[in-house]
Amino acid sequence: MCQHHGVPPMPGAVLDFTYAPPDRRRRDAQNMPHMLKAAIDGIADAMGCDDHGFRCVFPSQFSEPVKGGAVLVHIKPKEERE
């Protein structure tokens, strides 16, 4: 899908996650990385690369609730080290 739209494989991509729960009930943000494994695999599959080089950035807390809840993923090219 990504390659169909001209998105190149980014095996070292940075995946920056934001969590917005559907309501104000108490939740544990530390469980979210495990719950998102299939989504990370799907992103890698769509890019045509292996996910072992991804650097995933997970927040320590949830953002404000939104109707229906949401997980936003900002995908950025590999950060160059100085």
Q: Tell me the per-residue pLDDT of 50-72, one tens digit each, with 9 for 90 and over.
A: 999 999 999 999 999 999 999 99
Q: State how far the Cα of 82 lies from the Cα of 64, in Å rounded to an integer.
A: 35
Secondary structure (3-state) at 3: helix
Confidence at 3, pLDDT banded by 50, 70, 90: low
pTM score: 0.82
Q: State how far the Cα of 33 lies from the Cα of 41, in Å rounded to an integer.
A: 12
Q: State how far the Cα of 31 lies from the Cα of 58, in Å rounded to an integer.
A: 10
